[in-house]
Copies of this chain bind each other. A is one copy, B any other.
Amino acid sequence: MTTPSLTLSAIAEALGAAIEGDGSITVRRAVHPSEAEGPGDLALAMDRDLLALLPGSKAVAAVVSEGMELPDGVAGGTLGRIVVKRPRYAMAGLLDLFERPVHAEPGVSPQAYVAPDAVVAPDASIAPFAYIGPRARIGAGAVILPHVTVGADAVIGEGCLLHPGARIGERVEMGARCIIHPNAAVGNDGFSFVTPEPGSVESAKTTGRVVGTNVLIRRVNSIGTVVLGDDVEIGAGATIDRGTVTATRIGNGTKIDNLVQIGHNVQVGTNCMLCGHVGIAGSTEIGDRVVLAGKVGVADHVKIGSDAVVAANSGVGTDIPPKSVWMGYPAVPRTRAFEQYKGLARLKRLFADVAELKKRLTALDGGPVTAEAAERQD
């Protein structure tokens, strides 16, 4: 719980930032300017709103952004300042320095369950009420917090962090340094059922109408698993289903937010960001560095190209090319979606325009003002 003291100079060096004022000032905490309590507190003031709070802050030092004008009383004051270039990126560095790691006792708790044939690295930490199944392997430095379930034959890589209530299914494999957030469930059975004859969805897709009905439903077992690369994060309450025969795969560095659902057989590339409530149906392929904003839904068996960005709440039913920005329901390229929204907003006016044109035309040709003619065409 004791955080080390750091000098401003040391921090600036770690961030590649400049110093203004006394670089030998030491700090122990990084705080919001209004939450500073005195000596040891470094105020984070990298945007205009936070900067404005500095004159009233009790902090002894502050982190500010290059090129921003300091408020009166700060520029000339004794407050030490670290001056950074790209604030969001500097923030990542600062929060690494002042990280508050989760509590974990060394070794295996006597209140944990570890199967006799599980293999746990000597320096791993296994908390009370954690369950490690038969033949599971827990890598060096891994931290397994309370109430985690690691299924039989699962492999947890070096330095992984499994938060309380994470469920790791059987045979799941994860690389190094993965973080599984509370109550995430990785390696669940896929949602896969089949009817003896084509059922209602198959007929709706091919004919637009419901012909077959699902009087008999048969379960399709999943015998595959889930493979996570290195540095993958799975958000709180997120669910990743295992493959039917082979593996559902999530590539190195991909970050998955809370309550995301990934269906069976899905393949996700490296460094993707899938935001809260995203849902990806079975067998879909997501390239590298794809960003799906919150609540995006993606149909089964489609392909999203690398570096594509899909805006929040979109529903994707077709392939998306690489490096494109899509949005809407059904999702279309962003420029087309904007055109459609603009059109929608001007629709009322358009109806009035057409009514006016009719009147004027009728004054010329004596034809109908009402829509009768049009109706007959319906």
Supposing A92-B218, A245-B31 touch, asked if A149 and B131 sit within 8 A by C-beta, the answer is no
Say yes or no for A144: interface residue by CB 8 A criterion.
no
Contacts of A200 in B (CB 8 A): 289, 291, 307, 309
Complex CA gap A355/B111 in Å reads 77
Interface residue A99 (Cβ < 8 Å from any Cβ of B): yes
Number of interface residues of A (CB under 8 A): 145
Contact check, B208 vs A237: say whether CB atoms are below 8 A apart.
no
Is B167 in contact with A98, judged by CB distance below 8 angstroms?
no
* Minimal beta-carbon separation of A242 from chain B (angstroms): 10
B271 & A297 in contact (Cβ 8 Å cutoff) = no
Contact yes or no, B146 A149, CB < 8 A: yes
Given known contacts A239-B259, A294-B279, A297-B294, A188 and B170 CB-to-CB distance under 8 angstroms = no
Complex interface: chain B residues within 8 A of A354 (CB): 350, 353-354, 357
Q: How far is the CB of A307 from chain B (nearest CB, A)?
A: 5
Within 8 A of B (CB), among A164-203: 164-165, 167, 169-171, 179, 181-183, 185, 188-189, 191, 193-197, 200-201
In the complex, what distance in Å separates the CA atom of A279 from the CA atom of B278? 10
- 8 Å CB contacts to B: which residues of A200-250? 200-201, 204, 208-210, 213-215, 217-223, 233, 235-239, 241, 244-246
Cross-chain contact of A343 among B188, B223, B263, B348 (Cβ < 8 A): B348
Given A189-B181, A273-B214, A364-B365, also A194-B340 (CB < 8 A): no
Residues in B neighbouring A146, C-beta threshold 8 A? 113, 131, 149
When all copies of this chain in the complex are counted, the total is 3
Are B335 and A352 in contact, with the CB atoms below 8 A? no
CA distance A94 to B164 in the complex (A): 36
- Taking CB as reference atom, which chain B residue is nearest A169? B182
Contacts of A294 in B (CB 8 A): 261, 279, 281, 297, 299
**Known contacts being A30-B245, A147-B149, is A220 close to B344, with CB within 8 Å?**
no
How far does the Cβ of A190 sit from chain B's closest Cβ, in whole Å?
A: 10
Cβ A344 vs Cβ B340 within 8 A: yes
Contact present for B255 and A193 (CB under 8 Å): yes
**In the complex the two chains form, what is the Cα distance from A259 to B297 in whole Å?**
13
Q: Are A361 and B360 neighbours in the complex by a CB distance under 8 Å?
A: yes
Supplied contacts A31-B245, A102-B170, 15 more A-B pairs, CB within 8 Å: A92-B221, A149-B164, A191-B258, A210-B308, A214-B273, A257-B261, A259-B259, A259-B261, A295-B315, A297-B312, A312-B317, A336-B345, A344-B344, A352-B375, A357-B361
22 contacts between A and B (CB under 8 A): A91-B220, A91-B244, A98-B223, A165-B167, A179-B189, A193-B255, A200-B291, A201-B291, A210-B307, A210-B325, A215-B271, A235-B239, A237-B239, A241-B258, A259-B259, A259-B279, A281-B294, A329-B329, A349-B374, A352-B377, A353-B354, A363-B365
